[in-house]
Amino acid sequence: MRRMSKPAVTMTAMIAAAAILAACTSADTKNDYVDTVNGIQTSALNAFNQAASSTPENNEAMVEQLEAGEAALADAVAELDEVEVPEEAQDGHPKLVAGIDDLRALFEQTAKDVQKAEGTDAFGAVTALASEGAVIGTEIDRAINQINDDLGAE
């Protein structure tokens, strides 16, 4: 059985996924689940990286990037809500979805803060995004670890 990818939250990328293979029972259903979730994470990561790949020249450009990242995370949450979750992952999957939704909400709030910011205050909001995003990333990692453990991934 495949192991779920674990995104890592950083200032420039916010999330990154790495797939690791493992073996477990009921492999087809579990592998389908893991493949689907890894695909959703990868799509969100790619969309986010496109939004975050350039350095914004002004607050408006920064807001656009944050909104694009938020939209990618919102899409990931919606897709994760539709995934057929194996019984073994029923406890961890909602935590994964909640963590990604928390990250989405953080992007949304940061975009609002940057819109209202004057001068260098916008950079303070983005700095806060990085530190708060790292905390949320830890929660997402815990959810992924729980799912991997519950699925019997090695």
What digits encode the pLDDT tens for the residues 105-137? 999 998 999 899 887 777 788 788 888 888 888
Q: Give the pair of three-digit tokens for residue 150.
A: 């519950």
Predicted local confidence at residue 30, as pLDDT: 87
Which residues in 37-61 are b (16+ Cβ under 10 Å) and which e?
bbebbbebbebbbebbeeebeebee
The per-residue pLDDT for range 8-25, each reduced to its tens digit, is: 444 333 333 333 333 334
Domains and their CATH numbers in the chain: 2-151 (1.20.120)
Do 152 and 31 touch, CB atoms closer than 8 A?
no
Write the pLDDT tens digit of every residue in 72-106. Answer: 899 999 999 999 999 999 999 999 999 999 999 99
Single pTM value for the model: 0.79
